[in-house]
Amino acid sequence: MQREKDKLNEREKKRAERIEARKQALLDRPNPYQKEIDTCERLIALCEKLKFDFGLAEAPKDQVIKEE
């Protein structure tokens, strides 16, 4: 009876370890949309630059500080 209980406990322990390993593997994988995210960030930066160049927006505070 004790052996069966030990086997069951061991099986549950291994199952929990496998589940944890799968969860970690999912967290470690790269974002499949990273290229799209990078493209959007570049386009947003370009739009901000064009708005500033055409006088539709004020200069970013970082740029004002650098100019001074």
Render pLDDT for 6-48 as a digit per residue (tens, 0 to 9).
Answer: 999 999 999 999 999 999 999 999 999 999 999 999 999 999 9
Give yes or no: residues 48 and 65 share one domain: yes
Specify the 3-state DSSP secondary structure of 48: helix
Give yes or no: residues 20 and 6 share one domain: yes
Dihedral sign of CA atoms 21, 23, 26, 27 in order:
negative
Contact 57, 51 (CB under 8 A): yes
Enter the DSSP assignment of 7.
H
Count Cβ atoms below 10 Å from residue 49 Cβ, excluding itself.
Answer: 13
pTM of the model: 0.51
Cα(1)–Cα(3) distance, rounded to whole angstroms?
5
Cα(17)–Cα(40) distance, rounded to whole angstroms?
38
Give yes or no: residues 8 and 38 share one domain: no
Give yes or no: residues 1 and 20 share one domain: yes
